[in-house]
């Protein structure tokens, strides 16, 4: 798939099944993340992979967070199932370094770019992905369990796997609604 075809046609597919990317394919996904734009070379990225037993561990963390909120049974059930919507979840963390020239927002943006680059690299190699956050990404229990401190930020849970549904159609958008010239 050429780059422009990928950029113009990628869709997020929510139904993701085995197999998850692995080996060289997975390494390429991480390498794509590490090519995100990065002001001053601060490398503000952590990629925490959950698969197999790791998905159970991530589910336990979400349930613990839900319990801390006094969640009802239905919410606890939802939290316990959330990571299993794909065979692999990569939690992308913006790891912030204090720097006079690079504000925190730029480091968060860089981690966001890394997330999209990884999703694109997955699609380019025949896999699919879905970028989620939800309230768990910002929850103090989740942050602490994953060692996310201070200005660091969980910018996304990137669900990865093999598409279990038909390729979704791309919505055509009217460029004139978004583009203006100064
Ligand atoms: C930072 C960020 C967080 C997101 N979190 C969620 C989420 O928690 N749940 C969800 O359904 N979609 C979420 N999305 C949107 C999906 O990833 C996806 O982009 C959307 O469903 C549109 O599909 P498309 O990418 O195929 O256009 C998020 C997107 C971004 C950029």
Residue 1 pLDDT > 90: no
Backbone angles phi, psi at 143, to 5 degrees: -55, -50
Report pLDDT for 147. 98
What's the 3-state SS for the chain? CCHHHHHHHCCCCCCEECCCCCHHHHHHHHHHHCCCCCHHHCCCEEEEEEECHHHHHHHHHHHHHHHHCCCCHHHHHHHHHHHHHCCEEEEEEECCCCCCCCCHHHHHHHHHHHHHHHHHHHHHCCCEEEEECCHHHHCHHHHHHCCCCCCCEEEEEEEEEEECCCCCCCCCCCHHHCCCCC
Instruction: Classify residue 123: in a domain, yes or no.
Output: yes
56-109, pLDDT tens digit by residue? 999 999 999 999 999 999 999 999 999 999 999 999 999 999 999 999 999 999
Name 46's bridge partners.
Answer: 93
* Assigned domain for 70 exists: no
Cβ of 132 below 6 Å from ligand 1: yes
pLDDT at 168: 77
CA dist 173 and 169 (Å) reads 12
* Residue 135 within any structural domain of the chain: yes
Question: 131 CB under 6 A from ligand 1?
Answer: yes
Query: Would you say residue 128 lies in a domain?
Result: yes
Residue 6 lies in a domain: no
Instruction: For 23-56, write each residue's pLDDT tens digit.
Output: 999 999 999 999 999 999 999 999 999 999 999 9
- Residue 178, Cα to own-chain centre: how many angstroms? 25
With a 6 A CB cut-off, is 47 part of the ligand 1 pocket?
no
pLDDT of residue 108: 98
CA–CA separation, 163 and 126 (whole Å): 9
Number of domains forming the structure of the chain: 1
Position 72 in a domain: no
pTM recorded for the entire structure: 0.97
Domain with 101 in it: what CATH number? Answer: 3.40.109.10
Please tell me the distance between residue 131's alpha carbon and the centre of ligand 1 in angstroms. 5
Question: Residue 37 sits in which domain range?
Answer: 11-50+85-164
Q: How confident is the model at residue 167 (pLDDT cuts 50, 70, 90)?
A: confident
**Given this model, what pLDDT does residue 44 score?**
98
Q: Residue 65: what are its φ and ψ, rounded to 5°?
A: -65, -45
Is there a domain that residue 158 lies in? yes
Measured by CA distance, the residue closest to atom 10 of ligand 1 is 132
> Percent of the chain having pLDDT more than 90?
94
Tell me the pLDDT band of 151, cut-offs 50, 70 and 90. Answer: very high
The answer to whether residue 134 is domain-embedded is yes
- How confident is the prediction for the chain on average, in pLDDT? 96
If 0-12 CB within 10 Å is exposed, 13-18 middle and 19+ buried, where does residue 171 land? Answer: exposed
């Amino acid at each position: 798939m050429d780059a422009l075809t990928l950029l113009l046609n990628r869709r997020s597919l929510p139904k993701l099944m085995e197999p998850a990317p692995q080996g060289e394919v997975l390494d390429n996904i991480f390498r794509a993340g590490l090519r995100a734009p990065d002001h001053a070379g601060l490398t503000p990225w952590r990629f925490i992979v959950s698969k197999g037993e790791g998905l159970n561990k991530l589910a336990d963390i979400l349930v613990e967070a839900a319990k801390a909120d006094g969640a009802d049974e239905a919410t606890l059930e939802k939290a316990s199932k959330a990571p299993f919507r794909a065979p692999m979840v990569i939690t992308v963390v913006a790891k912030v370094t204090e720097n006079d020239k690079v504000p925190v927002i730029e480091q968060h943006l860089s981690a966001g770019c890394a997330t999209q680059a990884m999703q694109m690299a997955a699609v380019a190699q025949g896999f699919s992905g879905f970028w989620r956050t939800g309230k768990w990404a910002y929850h103090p229990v989740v942050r602490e369990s994953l060692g996310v401190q201070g200005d660091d930020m969980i910018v996304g849970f990137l669900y990865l796997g093999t598409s279990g549904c038909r390729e979704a159609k791309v919505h055509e958008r009217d460029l004139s609604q978004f583009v203006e010239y100064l």
